[in-house]
Amino acid sequence: MAIDEALLEQSSTLCSAVFRLYGWTEPAASFGYFQRYQDVEQLTALRPLVRRPTGGGIVPHDADWTYSLAFPPAHAWYDLSARDSYCRVHQWIQAAFQAVGIPAELAPAAFKPLAGQCFVGHEQSDLLWRGRKIAGAAQRRRKDGLLIQGSVQPPASIERSKWELAMLEAGSKIHAAEWAPCPDNALLDRAAELAQAKYGQAAYNQQR
């Protein structure tokens, strides 16, 4: 979470979009910036719980693949509406899944039988496979950039490495992305500050 917020803070100085793929060292759950901690702890048994810098509901991180995208204000993606941005990122993920043999589809409408949990039901333009939601995301747009945080709950038969490669290839094909490493010591230093002072503190995660 700290690295993602650092990406948002510094997206305008990075001068290009950043795509980050990451995982979790232990089962956990993240929850939306605006959610009440007391509600969250009753809705999931996963621990630890960490508040995201983006909105949305509870996301289980016990078997998922996570990613983030950060766009500077000068990037064309930044000017998209929230709905169009959400649809575009899931079209990208859909193309990657199709490349590895999973015919996923975008949800035409929302179906939310239980509020507060991202993967119980689905929103419009979430990615579905055989009627089950396999990809969702949350966004935060500020003057200094746009952050998208997403979770993929994949079919068990798919290897993560193949899907990640398919994401890069689909990004190049659909969005003309030219990939390069993003080593940035200043970003990592800022993330370490945020992890210590904010995301690693119970006072922050439980503030609502």
What is the pLDDT, as a whole number, of residue 208?
81
Q: Which pLDDT does position 156 carry in this prediction?
A: 81
Structural domain that includes position 29: 2-175
Is the Cβ–Cβ distance between 130 and 154 less than 8 Å? no
What pLDDT does residue 96 have? 98
Low-confidence ranges of the chain (pLDDT < 70): 183
Residue 200 lies in a domain: no
Burial of 61 (0-12, 13-18, 19+ CB in 10 A): buried
User: Among all residues, which ones are annotated catalytic?
Assistant: 118
The pLDDT tens digits of the residues spanning 77-111 come to 999 999 999 999 999 999 999 999 999 999 999 99
Beta-bridge mates of residue 71: 146
Name 19's bridge partners.
Answer: 69
Does a structural domain hold residue 203? no
pLDDT of residue 184: 80
Q: pLDDT at position 159, please?
A: 94
> How many structural domains comprise the chain?
1
Q: Is residue 101 part of a domain?
A: yes
Residue 14's CATH number: 3.30.930.10
31, part of any domain: yes
Q: Is residue 191 assigned to a domain? A: no
Q: Is residue 60 part of a domain?
A: yes
pLDDT of amino acid 53: 97
Residue 23 lies in a domain: yes
pLDDT for 12: 86
Phi-psi region of 188 (alpha: psi -120 to 50; beta: other; left: phi over 0): alpha
Let me know if residue 186 belongs to a domain. no
